[in-house]
Chains A and B, each alone.
Chain A
Amino acid sequence: MATVRHRPEALELLEAQSKFTKKELQILYRGFKNPGSLEFQECPSGVVNEETFKEIYSQFFPQGDSTTYAHFLFNAFDTDHNGAVSFEDFIKGLSILLRGTVQEKLNWAFNLYDINKDGYITKEEMLDIMKAIYDMMGKCTYPVLKEDAPRQHVETFFQKMDKNKDGVVTIDEFIESCQKDENIMRSMQLFENVI
């Protein structure tokens, strides 16, 4: 990894590109640049590498193992796939998640699930994602976590989403099915005012 110090683009440029105000960008950058008391401070300031990312995320889920999900999340944020999430990537992702339209958010979620970015979500990909999510719960759950709980959840998901039953979910099927589901629509609006 390059050890050159990475400086983000100008504040005005980022403001134009994203849907955040200057003040919000300032607050976000302060948090981004100083991830706090972490072990892995080896990454040059200005970018966050996968290890730091995983560690940050695991602080929020003490009971389970969030490394797999953090890995997928990292890939979703690291749009140019250079192994590090720069501040621009970070803002781009957050802009979609917090200020984007429902369509954009669904797009982003699809991108997260589609691990190999080929435009289709297969059952295996979904199973990986599901296992990663269930891993975050940890061992001490109620009711007790069974082995095939992720798989069953994937079945349910595919029954709902896969309209033509061809075993994969395309982006259109995904967006269409989500728009039909009230719960999902409502929960997409949940994090509007996070910043």
Chain B
Amino acid sequence: MAAGVAAWLPFARAAAIGWMPVANCPMPLAPADKNKRQDELIILNVSGRRFQTWRTTLERYPDTLLGSTEKEFFFNEDTKEYFFDRDPEVFRCVLNFYRTGKLHYPRYECISAYDDELAFYGILPEIIGDCCYEEYKDRKRENAERLMDDNDSENNQESMPSLSFRQTMWRAFENPHTSTLALVFYYVTGFFIAVSVITNVVETVPCGTVPGSKELPCGERYSVAFFCLDTACVMIFTVEYLLRLFAAPSRYRFIRSVMSIIDVVAIMPYYIGLVMTNNEDVSGAFVTLRVFRVFRIFKFSRHSQGLRILGYTLKSCASELGFLLFSLTMAIIIFATVMFYAEKGSSASKFTSIPASFWYTIVTMTTLGYGDMVPKTIAGKIFGSICSLSGVLVIALPVPVIVSNFSRIYHQNQRADKRRAQKKARLARIRVAKTGSSNAYLHSKRNGLLNEALELMGTPEEEHTGKITSLIESQHHHLLHCLEKTTNHEFIDEQMFEQNCMESSMQNYPSTRSPSLSSHPGLTTTCCSRRSKKTTHLPNSNLPATRLRSMQELSTIHIQGSEQPSLTTSRSSLNLKADDGLRPNCKTSQITTAIISIPTPPVLTPEGESRPPTSSPGPNTNIPSVASNVVKVSAL
């Protein structure tokens, strides 16, 4: 329950008088205010700075240090004040939380110091108000990242002898600074990647002439040498790939990763080339495959942090880039179409088709202007100039604006997503708090029952197995209890409710349960059931009356199929003897049981009469009179 409104609890309880004339059952007793102290000022001395507040202000949050009896540990008898050897600045925020119910995070404060203080005072950081929550989370995230970085660099310097050979190898691959062997391996592979890339490049350089024929590229002139180099590189790469595959902790994930795909693509052409001989048909395809050898240059990204970051940035900006591309495509298509139709008339025009005009449009819009395609008609020239001017506008201007816009929007989206996630988390927390308070009520109800049951049984064992609730909580629970009495319905939690609904819809024959008790809602709308009075007017003619009622129940059960909640489920949680006489209030009078298999005449009066004695003579003294009005049927 929110703290500040605890001050309004007396009002809510007073307003409950509005239910009294309407209720038909007696109300439960109010919890007694045993030690009713006058509200007093207490002094909190935090490192010399004195704060003063009312005791009740602090007691609004009984599960924190200041609100519970834990603060007594800090009570200084001599000065009659509570002394805390902590930071007074943060304490200001903490105390304001008690006063206003909102926890703020001061910007100038260090995040870890603040967290420490909150942990000391037993306050969850999730309660931080909306105004300061985002700032808090941002700082916390930064701090966490810093910690992670620290941990990583720490871990790298540790030696972990307990790793298996495979794990050592993987660590060596991932982080070359771990051991000398890894470093050697790192540099060797780097060298061979460079060699391979340079080989590819040099292969195509014309290399002097062989007399009698035209210039040959070096690759064909020294083909054997190049082939040997290529083989060596590919062997190294293959070995490296296989070793990585062996050492990977999750082979499946490794195979799917980008780097391994690059590795595979880098070495496949060689093997394919080995397999395929000089078959004329496929040699064209074979040549194409050699292009893929250039992908070996991407293997450098393992060696370069910067390349990896670039790749990651491109990946993360993919949607923005996609939109940019899309808008450019639109402009290109428009202008290409216009140019095509403008130049259609001129003879020997290079604008043979719209796709052919694409080239012109792109070259013009990016202000390259190769000059291989130029418009010749006047209309073409006009549109061409419009194209180039708009090219300047379309490309040169928005690109920086788009870049910065998208950067801003991207961060905004991130923040909006963050806020949405936070809101969801926030609502979830509120829901949890709400269910917490209602669960607290249900929990204390059960505990209350347990206590009453224990008292009934006469077992003077431990009094309280449940938590000791504060006075405010017990008053609040009393209020909810009064509402239950007024409406003759109980609060239950969702699970049980759904259980009841499911069970009632599934079970129509509870005859095998003993002692199965199920209450029929139709008869229990009013506490001192008038309807049941009508059907059981003569105490002597109980049998036909109850049979009549059972018949009624049968028919009504059929009509309202899903209204047969079973008590056993709720009872079982009480862990008591399944005797509902322990509920010392008018609930007992509501409980009737119905057996649909009616042949066995239900036992009435013994049960009925045994109830009043066992029901607690506690707060409600008119139970016997009530009970005798209602005939109870128990199932056998």
Which chain A residues have a beta carbon within 8 Å of chain B's beta carbons? 23, 27-28, 30-32, 34-38, 56-57, 59-63, 73, 76, 90, 93-94, 97-98, 105-106, 108-109, 112-113, 129-130, 133-134, 136-146, 149, 152-153, 156-157, 161, 174, 178, 182-184, 186-188, 190-191, 193-195
Contact = CB atoms under 8 A, between A and B. Distances in A.
B100 A36 contact: yes
Given A36-B3, A36-B101, A60-B479, A140 B21 contact: no
B20 A143 contact: no
A142 B519 CA distance: 10
B525 A149 contact: yes
Contacts of B14: 93-94, 97-98, 191, 194
Given A60-B1, A62-B437, A187-B27, 7 more contacts: A61-B483, A63-B491, A94-B10, A133-B22, A139-B497, A140-B496, A146-B525
A31 B4 CA distance: 7
Given A31-B8, A36-B4, A94-B11, A146 B24 contact: no
B13 interface: yes
A50 to B, nearest CB: 15
B484 to A, nearest CB: 8
A82 to B, nearest CB: 19
Contacts of B13: 191, 194
Interface string B284-310: 000000000000000000000000000
B473 to A, nearest CB: 12
Given A36-B2, A61-B483, A152 B15 contact: no
A160 B591 CA distance: 23
Nearest to B100: A37
B11 A90 contact: yes
Q: List 3 A-B pairs, minimum CB-CB distance, nearest first.
A: A36-B4, A31-B7, A37-B101
Interface residues of B, number: 75
Contacts of A30: 7, 54
B195 interface: no
Contacts of A59: 1-2, 5
A195 B23 CA distance: 24
A62 B476 CA distance: 11
B4 A38 contact: yes
Given A37-B100, A109-B21, A60 B12 contact: yes
26 contacts: A31-B7, A34-B100, A36-B5, A36-B100, A38-B5, A60-B12, A97-B14, A97-B15, A105-B17, A130-B22, A137-B484, A140-B493, A141-B497, A142-B489, A142-B491, A143-B563, A144-B501, A153-B22, A157-B22, A183-B23, A186-B26, A187-B482, A188-B20, A190-B30, A191-B30, A195-B10
A31 B497 CA distance: 36
Chain B: interface secondary structure? helix
Contacts, number: 197
B461 to A, nearest CB: 29
A23 B438 contact: no
A13 B563 CA distance: 56
A27 B39 contact: yes
Interface in B362-406: none
A191 B16 contact: yes
B615 interface: no
Interface in B461-505: 476, 479-480, 482-484, 486-487, 489-494, 496-497, 500-501, 504
Nearest to B485: A187
Interface string B409-442: 0000000000000000000000000110110000
Interface centre among A35, A109, A152, A190 (most CB of B within 10 A): A190
A151 B435 CA distance: 29
Contact of B491 (A113, A140, A190, A191): A140
B38 interface: yes
A104 to B, nearest CB: 11
Given A143-B563, A144-B521, A62 B100 contact: no
B78 interface: no
B439 to A, nearest CB: 10
Contact of B476 (A60, A183, A193): A60
Interface in B25-41: 25-27, 29-30, 33, 38-39
Contacts of A97: 14-15, 17
B244 interface: no
A82 B212 CA distance: 112
A142 B492 contact: yes
B487 A134 contact: yes
Contacts of A152: 525-526
Nearest to B102: A37
Contacts of B99: 34
B616 interface: no
Nearest to A77: B15
B497 A142 contact: yes
B606 interface: no
Contact of B21 (A23, A38, A136, A178): A178
B19 A133 contact: yes
A136 B526 contact: no
A68 B177 CA distance: 70
Contacts of B25: 183
Interface string B108-119: 000000000000
